[in-house]
Amino acid sequence: PSPRTTRVATRVARVPTEPRVDAEKDLTSPLHTFEASTLDMPTGRDVESISDTEEWKALQEHVKEINTTHLRDLLRDEGRCMNLIKESEGIYCDLSRQRITNKTSELLMKLANKANLKDKIEAMFSGEHINSTEDRAALHVATRARRDQSIVVDGRDVVPDVWEVLDKIKDFSNKVRSGEWKGVTGKPLKNVVAIGIGGSFLGPLFVHTALRTEPIAAMESEGRTLRFLANVDPIDVARALKDMNPEETLVVVVSKTFTTAETMLNARTVRKWLIAQLGPDAVAKHMVAVSTNLKLVKEFGIDPENAFGFWDWVGGRYSVCSAVGMLPLALEYGFDLMEEFLLGANSIDDHFRLMPLEDNLPVLLGLMSVWNVSFLGYPARAILPYCQALSKLAPHIQQVSMESNGKGVDINGHPLPFESGEIDSGEPGTNGQHSFYQLIHQGRVVPCDFIGIVRSQQSVYLKGEIVSNHDELMSNFFAQADALAYDKPPEQLRSENVPDFLIPHKTFTGNRPSISIMLPACTARTVGQILALYEHRVAVQGFIWGINSFDQWGVELGKVLASKVRTTMHQSRTKSRTVSITDGFNYSTTRMMNK
């Protein structure tokens, strides 16, 4: 192999689906499917890490300068602030409370160019197999493509395929909502239970939570109920089915693979619930599926006619715009409204693909994350929507971000010389203020995303109050970002006659970064926009770090071990024997299992 050069991967290598190490050891192995001659990049071993580049080192050096600044002063520079406030596609994005100067922005742009960010974005939109460990495209953008678009994967324009499924969803959801599609006892189906976990749950739950109080959505869903069943915990089953009349209930089993243990057990449990009350014919009328694995759907007993497909180039956590989200949500809110949601996401896709990097919102947001994580050393991020309707944004983005970017090796399999990924969490404001904000204000530095809504879904103005409920909420939204940025030093506390012993406790160091994002309203369209904004932000981070943001090998080991435990638990129950160390578990696990 040639020594490391100064080149950074522009495209991803086609790597074997088996662990790369086999192929690397034996270049004649059939697993060694690198197509070096067809790629304008080196094959891994001669690709340097982004952290070896001059651009990365310049940013490391620049941290020293930034450490001499304070947000209180940076916020005085109106020219700087003006440069850092971006508005596009109706989204207002203020980066002026990031610990950056104009120079930082320039250096980050240089880093983005060094990482060939533009090419990588284009590779994603062009259907290249950027998910190299699974030899797949990452083409969730195709799931919200407009009918007139063309997106080619492996020589095939997939937009007609996408719309064939969307048209089928439209037709089916119309039939169910109008009562034309009836249950086995002749009743219309007004309840939906969507069974799925991870990406087959969190995105749809986020959108449902965001829309249910939106006036048009609320009208469309009048008299209907949508519930999700994700956890295999029997408590979740009981809660999902509580007070549901099976005669009026449609069950949607959502699983990309149709093999996920929890989802399949829940699907069998609910199938039993239906059959016990309505007889075996109920499955045909009361159970439908969303999956890429139509063979297993059929084996489960669901008519493939009642299955809604998607494709392996849609990652689970990126699947909310496919039938995964669209079917349950169109059943609840009607297809037309959900099409608005798709158009919202699509508007950000266009923006991401076409806008120059300097004005590209997902790019700027992604670069802020890279700066905070990799240079300033802040490993966590709080997602804080000042909007109760967005209360499930943080859990959804937690999966999108942490499953995508929580990696230990780069895309070529080399251990990363830095830590990638962000630790994401969050709750809506103002609730969070009365909970974990103490740590954010005086404890650890956690860069925050504040998300506010200009016009609320609901209008409440109590006579005699000085502000409406929404203005009260937004007063906090505006105040918190400044409370983090500004300091309150001992001198100021002394001048306020704070007793000496309390001064250290009441001191604020400030200089804590945040981003403020405002959406004009919380509608189907803007919910699609915020979803796509975060999805692409995560991709930008991965592209800069040089990792594969579209696989998730880290979740597999636990599944394998659970399978071993499952077998042993079954044996110990059927043979009425205790688990022993000879079953292959350590002392600790053996003892817990017996307990």
Report strand pairing: 307-309 vs 287-291. parallel
Task: Tell me how crowded residue 491 is: count the other CB atoms within 10 A of its CB.
Answer: 9
CA distance 211 to 217: 6
Should residue 346 be labelled a site residue for ligand F6P when binding is judged by CB under 6 A? no
Name the segment binding ligand F6P (CB under 6 A); options: 187-195, 241-249, 250-258, 329-337. Answer: 250-258
Q: How far is the CB of 424 from ligand F6P (least distance, A)?
A: 16
Should residue 317 be labelled a site residue for ligand F6P when binding is judged by CB under 6 A? yes
CA distance 595 to 592: 5
Q: How many CA atoms lie within 13 A of 502 on its CB side?
A: 9
Q: Are 481 and 450 in contact (CB under 8 A)?
A: yes
Should residue 140 be labelled a site residue for ligand F6P when binding is judged by CB under 6 A? no
Q: Please spell the DSSP secondary structure of 15-63, one letter per residue.
A: --SS-HHHHHH-TTSTT----GGGSSS--STTPPPGGGSHHHHHHHHHH
Name the segment binding ligand F6P (CB under 6 A); options: 36-44, 125-133, 196-204, 366-374. Answer: 196-204
3-state secondary structure of 12: coil
Residue (134 or 583) nearer to ligand F6P, CB: 134
- Residue 194's nearest CA partner among 183, 206, 184, 182 is 206
* Sole binder of ligand F6P in the list 256, 271, 392, 470 (CB under 6 A): 256
Should residue 266 be labelled a site residue for ligand F6P when binding is judged by CB under 6 A? no
3-state secondary structure of 382: strand
Should residue 552 be labelled a site residue for ligand F6P when binding is judged by CB under 6 A? yes
Q: How far is the CB of 255 from ligand F6P (least distance, A)?
A: 3
Backbone angles phi, psi at 518, to 5 degrees: -125, 130
Q: How far is the CB of 528 from ligand F6P (least distance, A)?
A: 19
Q: How far is the CB of 231 from ligand F6P (least distance, A)?
A: 12
Q: How far is the CB of 200 from ligand F6P (least distance, A)?
A: 4
CA distance 357 to 359: 6
Given 175, 559, 564, 570, the catalytic residue: 559
* Sole binder of ligand F6P in the list 16, 246, 316, 513 (CB under 6 A): 316
- Residue 404's nearest CA partner among 508, 258, 555 is 555
Q: Strands of 461-536 (E only): list them.
A: 514-521
- Residue 526's nearest CA partner among 341, 329, 365, 353 is 341
CA distance 482 to 476: 10
- Residue 339's nearest CA partner among 226, 249, 347 is 347
Should residue 511 be labelled a site residue for ligand F6P when binding is judged by CB under 6 A? no
Should residue 53 be labelled a site residue for ligand F6P when binding is judged by CB under 6 A? no
Residue (237 or 337) nearer to ligand F6P, CB: 237
Residue (263 or 360) nearer to ligand F6P, CB: 263
By CB under 6 A, the count of residues binding ligand F6P is 14
Residue (309 or 432) nearer to ligand F6P, CB: 309
Distances (CA, A) of 359 to 103, 250, 362, 524: 16, 45, 9, 24
Should residue 197 be labelled a site residue for ligand F6P when binding is judged by CB under 6 A? yes
140 flagged as catalytic:
no
Q: How far is the CB of 258 from ligand F6P (least distance, A)?
A: 7
The tokens describing 440, both together, are: 């954010």
Should residue 198 be labelled a site residue for ligand F6P when binding is judged by CB under 6 A? yes
Q: How far is the CB of 317 from ligand F6P (least distance, A)?
A: 5
Place of tokens 């915020």: 530
CA distance 547 to 408: 9
- Residue 267's nearest CA partner among 219, 304, 302, 311 is 302
Name the segment binding ligand F6P (CB under 6 A); options: 29-37, 159-167, 193-201, 204-212. Answer: 193-201
Residue (302 or 361) nearer to ligand F6P, CB: 302
Residue (16 or 316) nearer to ligand F6P, CB: 316
Should residue 199 be labelled a site residue for ligand F6P when binding is judged by CB under 6 A? yes
434 flagged as catalytic:
yes
Given 57, 103, 295, 434, the catalytic residue: 434
Should residue 555 be labelled a site residue for ligand F6P when binding is judged by CB under 6 A? yes
Q: Which ranges in 355-468 belong to alpha helices (H)? A: 361-370, 393-405, 437-442
Report strand pairing: 514-521 vs 287-291. unpaired
How far is residue 569 CA from its own chain's centroid?
34
The tokens describing 146, both together, are: 């407009």
Q: Are 49 and 415 in contact (CB under 8 A)?
A: no
388-417 residues near ligand F6P, rule: CB under 6 A: 403
Given 55, 403, 422, 427, the catalytic residue: 403
The residues facing 93 across adjacent strands are 86, 517
Should residue 204 be labelled a site residue for ligand F6P when binding is judged by CB under 6 A? no
Q: How far is the CB of 288 from ligand F6P (least distance, A)?
A: 15
Residue (181 or 318) nearer to ligand F6P, CB: 318
Name the segment binding ligand F6P (CB under 6 A); options: 128-136, 191-199, 229-237, 376-384. Answer: 191-199
Residues in the chain: 595
Q: How far is the CB of 316 from ligand F6P (least distance, A)?
A: 3
Residue (252 or 484) nearer to ligand F6P, CB: 252
559 flagged as catalytic:
yes
Name the segment binding ligand F6P (CB under 6 A); options: 28-36, 177-185, 254-262, 381-389. Answer: 254-262
3-state secondary structure of 252: strand
CA distance 527 to 533: 10
Residue (179 or 554) nearer to ligand F6P, CB: 554
Residue (55 or 403) nearer to ligand F6P, CB: 403
- Which residues are at the interface with ligand F6P (CB under 6 A)? 197-200, 255-257, 260, 263, 316-317, 403, 552, 555
Catalytic residues: 403, 434, 559
